[in-house]
A = this chain, B = another copy of it.
Amino acid sequence: MKLLEKLPQEKVLRDPIHDFIHIQDQLILDLINTKEFQRLRRVQQLGVANTIFHGATHDRFGHCAGAYELARRVTDHFAQYYASKDADDGLWNPEERLVTLAAALLHDVGHGAFSHTFEHLFHTDHESMTQQIITGDTEIHQVLLQEGPDFPNKVASVIAKTYPNPQVVQLISSQLDVDRMDYLLRDAYYTGASYGEYDLSRILRMLRPYKGGIAVDIGGMHAVESYLVARYQMYLQVYFHPVARGMEILLEHILGRVKELLAEGEEPNSLVGPLLAPVFQPDHDLTVSEYLRLDDNLFLTAINGWQDADDTILADLSQRFLNRKPLKSIQITEQSAPHLDRLEKIVNEAGFDPRYYTARNDAYDLPYDDYKPAAKKPRTQIELVLADGSHRELSELSTLVGAIKGRASLDQRFFFPREMLDNGPDDLFTELHNDFKSFIRNDTFIPGED
């Protein structure tokens, strides 16, 4: 059945993280050349984070190519050293190679512009979109079909984690998968933060296929520790960055304001244009082809235009966003959160509509956890293989991981306009601003006594 073959000579893409992305199959080359995959060049990997880490301009194309390359290296290594001899030996079946590579390459193909904000606001889901792109009326689907009529479904089921072979599923999606292994290094490289670095080549050498999925040889324990610490640090240092969140909230409020204006009767075509219109259409589920027209440029161009909007809130928020005037923030706690209305009240008095100029935002991450059958989404735990072949869960042997396991990182914040902290000579609201600031100590909201 296979219509697509190995390339006579491998092709390479220069990659700053992995040096070269090696393309050895016509299928992979054809997938990269589809318009759906090329669209990933127009979707930034870290959304607005480049307003804080100006180097972080990288896009999802590079990340997907990188995840593919790691999958290629792992499956080659498995084929050389851990190829299955009989069906039941729990080793690697080399016939899983292409489905693994395709799934790795395509795992984020459904990501849209500013996904975090977008999905929150418009109730879409990039994983489901990825599956629709793979199985729907797309160039990607056509390419995959050439490998076999059921091949698109197989790739989609890997994304959905319903594929029968747990080794394939875990390589693409687990607590130690090619997705995370790539994006930690890539995000570290582009932000210039050194925190995301860990010993990739050692981990790749230490992965071991077994009946239940992918484990790690005990010799790789410290490398995995570094990887988890890297992940923990990147969350706290980069992904949780309060200034980036202050930009995201602006974006969310801009789109929310547009939604409201349309609900109030503004003319969609002049406000949002034809490509963006479906997004705001009430009770409309975006089609795959509508979705695929959306990219970062489209949103940023709309915001560029909205700077001239008649609605002063929309115009002001759009200017703040494009000119990088993020909302400021302070930490809040379970204790102080119920008292935020005091702050909102002052912000309101200072002339800012709290619906658009304040927000409460929680950043949450659980860096590692072992398998908890009762959990809503039980995690695939990381298992170590000892010399005699027996397995132990990582945190049993690693002090460091034991300390992280099951402990979430949480950063709860209240956002507000930076004007609230002003106190310059021309400040019209000196008293209000002083009042506001009296609630802040060490970057934290201290409500004081009632």
Contacts and interface: CB of A to CB of B under 8 A. Distances in A.
Interface in A1-58: 9-10, 12-17, 19-20, 33-35, 38-39, 41-42, 44, 50-51, 53-55, 57-58
A399 B404 contact: yes
Q: How many copies does the complex hold?
A: 4
20 contacts: A9-B81, A12-B205, A14-B192, A15-B54, A15-B55, A16-B192, A35-B323, A57-B58, A193-B199, A229-B400, A275-B301, A275-B304, A295-B300, A297-B297, A297-B301, A297-B304, A298-B301, A298-B304, A390-B442, A403-B403
A190 interface: yes
A213 interface: no
A324 B14 contact: no
A85 to B, nearest CB: 14
A65 B54 contact: yes
A38 B301 contact: no
A191 B13 CA distance: 10
Interface string A422-442: 000000000000000000011
B14 A53 contact: yes
A237 B224 CA distance: 13
Contacts of A149: none
Given A14-B55, A195-B199, A403-B404, 10 more contacts: A15-B192, A16-B191, A17-B55, A17-B192, A275-B305, A297-B298, A297-B300, A297-B301, A390-B442, A402-B403
Interface string A90-106: 00000000000000000
Contacts of A55: 14-17, 58, 62
Interface of A: 9-10, 12-17, 19-20, 33-35, 38-39, 41-42, 44, 50-51, 53-55, 57-59, 61-62, 65, 81, 189-195, 197-199, 201, 205, 218, 222, 225-226, 229, 232-233, 236-237, 273-275, 293, 295-298, 300-301, 304-305, 319, 322-324, 386-388, 390, 399-400, 402-404, 407, 409, 441-443
Nearest to A198: B194
